[in-house]
A and B are shown apart, each in its own frame.
Chain A
Amino acid sequence: MNTRTLALAAFAALALALGGCSSMKKSDGTEAPVSDATGAGAGAGGVGAGGGRWSGGALDDPSSPLSKRVLFFEYDSAELRADSMDVLRAHGSYLAGNRGTNVTVEGHCDERGSREYNLALGERRAQAVKRYLEADGVSAAQISIISYGEERPADPGHDESAWAQNRRAVLVY
């Protein structure tokens, strides 16, 4: 077991310990409550996390954690952050319960450093997400990954707030 796997396991344990009502940092930097999504992902037309009945597909429910598709990373790191776990587990149980649904995980980086190293780092981020989903029972065949490195910034700015938005993995259904 290498250090990366250990770190992953530690994060998973932390996420479990935090339980079903941790808070999640939204992309605008504000805090928003995120409820345990394990029940919300099972099948279409499930109950949305916000409590109201959602009549469309679970993926399209704007109040479900499944509507969150972006996970952020620290600089030069592919370790999943604690604030990503609820969203990841929601997607994991949704995909495990919907074997016919596939997802592409995109890995992205901020612009600092060299481009090919960032291409590799973006792949490592996408793989970290893939491995977590697989550990959650998702079939490897449902997940493809691609790295865009620093070539597709979400925020075209050149400061820390832009870089924080760009160090990300994106789940694309």
Chain B
Amino acid sequence: MKRLLLLIALWGWHLTAAAGLTIEITEGAQGALPIAVVPFGGTSPEDVAGIIANDLKRSGRFRPLPVADMLVKPHQASEVDYRDWRALKQESLVVGQVNGGPGNYQVRVELLDVFRGQGLGSWQFNAASQRDLRATAHHIADLVYEALTGERGAFATRIAYITGLRSADGKERVAVQVADSDGASPQTIFSSTEPVLSISWSPDGRRLAYVSFENRKPAIFVQDVYSGQRQKVADFPGINGAPAWSPDGRELAVTLSKDGNPDIFVLDVASGSVRPVTRHPAIDTEPAWSPDGRSIIFTSDRGGQPQIYKVSAAGGEPQRITFEGKYNAKASYSRDGRYIAMVTRDGGDFRIGVLDTSSKAFRTVSDGPLDESPSFAPNGSMIIYAARAQGRGVLYAVSADGRTRHRLTLDVGDVREPVWSPFSNR
């Protein structure tokens, strides 16, 4: 946690605040666990309990009790009469308080089992700023989620995405932005009037790789999200595209067309050297690493239409892995390697499909006409993707079971190409 706070303290000192994303739950879940997160005692510039409740609600696994329905508002376990909460059919209860003030907030929180009438966990945190309080709230939501579901939470993570704002002359200003997983505290990392696309997080969550046309042709850049330091890492003739960090953070799988048509290469980031992985006259692009770093999946139209293939990271003969539908592209793994999300053509519509690599079952988890760019949360619980709604580019996050969905919308302009960060250190 100390490390997390340090990172947060460093965060944003050079960066510009950006217009916020508005979040809206569009499909709720049946059968979610009832939980009461009581507004915290003390004085806090952030509604810590509200942030926790919203995180839990967005996951689709919990149904937080509206504050207006709470009959009493205890702030610690010793003040709790469990009968109050059994009467409201709550299974779990979160109580806490924020003491201190700017520069030194203390957050105390307890998780209680209403049926058994006993504590499940209690934690204490220090936070220096309002920003730290938000981060602490997301971290508490992670702990509650893990205590009650047995799976690690992914609320204290971030999302990176591209925004586009078209001016009156038709030109689009694009920006790479990073925000909290709930869309709060967005920061602009880079912006340009030339195209920018294809963001990839380094596995330590410190750097982003992306493609920028700022020199009137596509080149791959790596940028430190804390210091803003930026480096061009690939600028060969033709396409330099689709960067994807290897799990060890040393290499980028990339698409290069320097030899005449797009193939997959692996770039050593420190030395800049590249080695070929595929060699085929068809389009090979959109590489993504398996979590063990041994293989790479990619889009290829070598069979006539874009489909997903898998190849050893050392090269060799690729094997086709998608057989449903005539268009499958932009695939990426869940962190446990079991699922692969992709863009799939469904009739005339482009949707998000998920392939279970063990059962080979394939299902569609979105319903829009123009959905693209799926990215798993690091705990695999949700997939964030880009879509069009009411003529705007928006983001959706859908639970992996497809039951819950929420939409993230910019106040003005389009948002697209979301990428969920890895877990932060704790």
Contact = CB atoms under 8 A, between A and B. Distances in A.
**Residue with the highest number of chain B CB atoms closer than 10 Å, among A119, A127, A158:** A119
A120 B285 contact: yes
A117 B239 contact: no
A114 interface: yes
Interface string B340-360: 000101000010000000000
Given A152-B195, A156-B166, A116 B299 contact: yes
Contact of A114 (B166, B218, B261, B329): B329
Interface in A100-132: 111-117, 119-121, 123-124, 127
Contacts of A115: 197-198, 330, 372-373, 417
A54 interface: no
Nearest to A151: B195
**Residue with the highest number of chain A CB atoms closer than 10 Å, among B217, B262, B301:** B262
A147 B216 CA distance: 10
**Residue with the highest number of chain B CB atoms closer than 10 Å, among A120, A156, A158:** A120
Contacts of B335: none
B166 A117 contact: no
Nearest to B331: A114
A113 B170 contact: no
Interface in B390-424: 391, 417
A117 B299 contact: yes
A44 interface: no
Contact of A156 (B170, B283, B299): B170
B306 interface: yes
A117 B286 contact: yes
Interface residues of B, number: 37
**Residue with the highest number of chain B CB atoms closer than 10 Å, among A114, A124, A148:** A114
Contact of B306 (A113, A127, A149): A113
A142 to B, nearest CB: 16
Contacts of A76: 305-306, 327
A120 B262 CA distance: 7
Nearest to B343: A114
Contacts of A114: 286, 299, 306, 329-330, 343, 372-373
A120 B388 contact: no
B255 A113 contact: no
A112 B388 CA distance: 11
B205 interface: no
A116 B343 contact: no
A158 B370 CA distance: 9
Given A115-B372, A156-B170, A124 B388 contact: no
A2 interface: yes
Nearest to B345: A113
B239 A158 contact: no
A113 B213 CA distance: 20
Contacts of A111: 370
Interface string B228-253: 00000000001101100000000000
B255 A146 contact: no
B293 interface: no
B213 A120 contact: no
A160 B391 CA distance: 15
Contacts of B261: 120, 123-124, 127
Contacts of B102: none
A123 B239 contact: yes
Nearest to B327: A113
A158 B368 CA distance: 13
B66 interface: no
B257 interface: yes
Interface in B78-127: none
A145 to B, nearest CB: 8
Contact of B241 (A112, A113, A119, A124): A119
B45 interface: no
Interface in A33-63: none
A119 B166 contact: no
B305 to A, nearest CB: 8
Given A117-B330, A123-B262, A146-B217, A112 B238 contact: no
A144 to B, nearest CB: 9
Given A117-B283, A120-B261, 16 more contacts: A2-B281, A112-B350, A114-B306, A114-B329, A116-B255, A117-B306, A117-B329, A119-B197, A120-B255, A123-B261, A123-B262, A124-B283, A146-B216, A147-B239, A156-B170, A158-B370
Interface of A: 2, 76, 111-117, 119-121, 123-124, 127, 146-149, 151-152, 156, 158
5 contacts: A111-B370, A113-B350, A120-B283, A123-B261, A156-B170
